[in-house]
Amino acid sequence: SAKYPLVVSTWPFKEAVRAAWRAVHNNNASAVDAVVEGCSACEELRCDGTVGAGGSPDENGETTIDAMIMNGVTMEVGAVAAMRYVRDGIRAAQLVMLYTQHTMLVGEKASTFAISMGLPGPTNLSSAESLEKWTKWKEDKCQPNFRKNVFPADSCGPYYPEDAVDSSKMTCSMVNMVDPNESGSFVDRHNHDTIAMAVIDNKGHIAAGTSTNGATFKIPGRVGDGPIAGSSAYADTEVGACGATGDGDIMMRFLPCYQVVESMRLGMQPKLAAEDAISRITRKFPNFIGAVFAINKDGVHAGACHGWTFQYSVRSPGMDDVEVFTVLP
Ligand code: SD4
């Protein structure tokens, strides 16, 4: 049977996969356009409450967006990081790829660009849910969050490091919480912050992309793996593609999706390539929580994970609807 078109995404984001499938299968869209349709559907549906508007707030209660798109034929990439006030992360990333010579735009400047290119905004990215989550977190003494062990353990401040240059600038949430040797305190089974998606179109061309609010209660300004090509996703039409989810602060040090694609280029099967990429991380960070899926250009798919049970969704010509695959750690 035909090997493609093929759509794969992290987590049971079935509607996102269906949207990409409609584009690539029913409408003969390119792999890039199908990834945009798929991730965009997730942004609109606010998949898991952690993609698109209204998702994971930062320490200040604000929701921002990281997104990336990669064309595996031309190796062009577009990305936005910590983008504010604009809902359409993946479309903004695509505009960067299509209409600029740059690869990544950040923060409010990314918003200005996206709006100047016609995307709706500025809009408030908070929702009742994200604000409630944030309020509860503050009441709960701001734990967990991502600052290292320099503050009294059981309070929300206004504590600050004694050598801080300007203590008046420190925010209330600067508390002690994360053991620097631990990771993944923000990701758990109910907090699937990221859609990473890969598509093979009717021509056999491959693209990959991501969209996420990043880490819940992150320090404002934090950028994760989401917009980093090779970390959250990677695609090369000659080889295959990969998508990742989990603790991006750790993953972005290892470029696991670049690793997966390069291992497959050297002949590894997707399953082994995925497991190898995860084990390179866990050898250094045994408490790491994360996962990757891998596809090769023949449409073979596999996943690997650590610290949680991972699920990824697939739609291929042999299936009647999206199928969800479960990977045990
Ligand atoms: C990040 N990788 O920003 C994202 C979060 C995630 O499941 O994937 N959570 O670190």
Which of 42, 186, 212 maximizes ligand 1 atoms within 8 Å of its Cβ, making it the mutation to test the pocket? 212
User: Catalytic residue among 194, 210, 216, 237, which?
Assistant: 194
User: Cα–Cα distance between 98 and 92 in angstroms, integer?
Assistant: 10
Query: pTM, whole model, 2 decimals?
Result: 0.90
Q: How far apart are CA 143 and CA 165, in angstroms?
A: 24
**Could you give the CA distance from residue 58 to residue 66 in angstroms, rounded to a whole number?**
13
Return all residues near 183 (Cβ < 8 A) that are at least 6 apart: 247, 249, 250, 285, 287, 288, 289
* Known binding positions for substrate: 222-225, 245-248
The pLDDT averaged over each successive group of 10 residues in the chain (329 residues) is 91 96 98 98 80 81 95 98 96 98 97 97 90 86 64 48 45 35 44 85 98 89 96 98 96 98 98 98 95 97 95 96 96
ipTM above 0.95, yes or no: yes
Q: What is the pLDDT, as a whole number, of residue 166?
A: 46
Q: Catalytic residue at 194? A: yes
CA 150 to chain centre: 29
Cβ neighbours of 15 (radius 10 Å): 16
Tell me if residue 205 falls in helix, strand or coil. Answer: coil
Question: Could you tell me the distance, in angstroms and rounded to a whole number, from the CA of residue 213 to the centre of ligand 1?
Answer: 8
